[in-house]
Structure formats: structure tokens, C-alpha cells
Structure 1
Amino acid sequence: MAITRHASARWEGDLKGGEGRLSTRQSGLLDETRYGFNSRFGDEKGTNPEELIAAAHAGCFAMALSAKLTEAGHAPTRLDAQAHVELSMEGGPNISRIRLTVEGQVPGLDEARFREIADDAKQNCPVSKALASVPIELEASLAK
């Protein structure tokens, strides 16, 4: 059985002067969220596809890591994950790299084993698999 999630985008106008709206009406979380050229390639308020990919990747990775740690007998107290999606302009816009970082609070686990399990989660979370054509780096550490 497959689970289907959906979102929609509407764009009006040319690339630089136009404006778009994103919606995740299924959940209601993003209801007509604005995006545009300057929120993607500049610093104007609004979201952009790369930010949304980063949010999806960080969330998926954190859940996958939690599952793998729990399977290994070390349920995490806390995982703080971030994804940094790099948009390169060389040869036209493309996602050139993703850097995942995670700091975990995991009782009874050493740093080396945490990194090993984190790497497995990075390789096997569904979003990482979907983004497999992009180099994905990982920095994993335990909270001190």
C-alpha cells in the first residue's frame, strides 16, 4: 500500500517579475505560501524549493535516525538535524550539494557508533534515496 502526499504550485508572470504560491492543502500547513525569484535567488521574504527540500530532508533523516537508533537499542532523547541545500549557478541553476548535520543526545552510545548509525540513516531515508543524484555529506556528533 502506497501513501500519497501532494502539494501544488501556481506561478503567474515571467520569471523575475512573476510570483508563485505553494499550497499543501492536504495538511493545511502551507496555505498559499508565497515564493518568487527574489526569495529563491535573493534574500526577499518567502520560501523557495530548496528550502522546502531542506526541511523535508532534515525531517526525514531525523525520523530515520531515530528509528535506527531505537532498533539498535539506543532510543534518542533528542536529535537536532539540519539540511543545507546548495543551489549552484554553474551551468544553470542546479542543486549541487546537500550537507546534513545532526547533534544527538543518545544515552549509552559512543560517538563512533552514533556516526555509523547516522550514516546508515543518511543512506536509507526515503528523501536521501530520492536525492541520490546529489552528493550528500553528513556531520554527526553527540551532545556533550
Structure 2
Amino acid sequence: AKPHFNPFSSDGRFVLVPDKGLDRIFVFRYEAGRLTPAEPPFVATRETAGPRHLACHPSRPWVYCVNELDSTVTAYDYRADSGELRPRQIVSALPDSYTGNSRAAGIQIDAGGRFLYASNRGSDSIALLRIDPDNGRLAFVEAVS
């Protein structure tokens, strides 16, 4: 319905397609230049979250998706054999003191895999979240204007 982004997984075996209209992330196996639905073919996100963009951790089996409509980031475990994404955590990309309207947009992980950045339109900020190196869980650090 409304895919905005379709990156390859970090191992190049799958194409991941967040769809903010259907609240799903579709997973396609990529082999010999062809795409086929993975099994399972998608993971459902929280209703009305609006998954927009995602980032794969550079060295660990974790994928992070920024959800546009509720300004959150969902952490997923990634199974390299099947492409399956298993949700494990949802964190706000806004400080708990922010009460206005906002929409998240972009997401990026630093090259060392220690920090995640998510942009917010409305609060006009970049959220900084720390990635736990042992389990991939996120901790909100701050939002910078």
C-alpha cells in the first residue's frame, strides 16, 4: 500500500519492505536476481505504527524499524536462514516530555553499531538511542533539535 524503502538485509539474502499503509514489513528472498516471498512473508507491526524505514545492524542479527505514525523504533531479531523478523522491543523516538504532534522519518546506525539515530518531523529532532552490544535492546539517550 505505502512502501517507502526496500533495502537488502545486511547479508544480501533478503529484501525488507516496510509498508506504512498495511503496518507490515514484507520479506522477500533474493536469489539469482529474483524475489520470492519468504516464509513467513511478513511481520505485522503494531496497528497504526506506520513502519517507514529500517536499518540493519552492521555485525549482529538485528534490524530496527522507525515507525512514522507513532514516532517509535521497533527492534527485531533477524533470522538469516529464513529472513524472519521477530519483534523484541518498541522505544519512543521522542523524549517523554514531548506532547505535540510528530512523525518519524529516517533511521541510521553508526558504523560501529553502537548508536541508532531516528529523525522526527514535528518535534524537529534527531533521537539518539544506545544499542546494547549484548542483546540489541535500545535505550533512549536524548533528542537533539
TM class, shorter-length = under 0.3
Q: Which has the larger radius of gyration?
A: 1
| TM-score for both structures, normalised by structure 1 | 0.27
| TM-score for both structures, normalised by structure 2 | 0.27
The structure in which a higher percent of residues are strand is 2
The structure in which a higher percent of residues are helix is 1
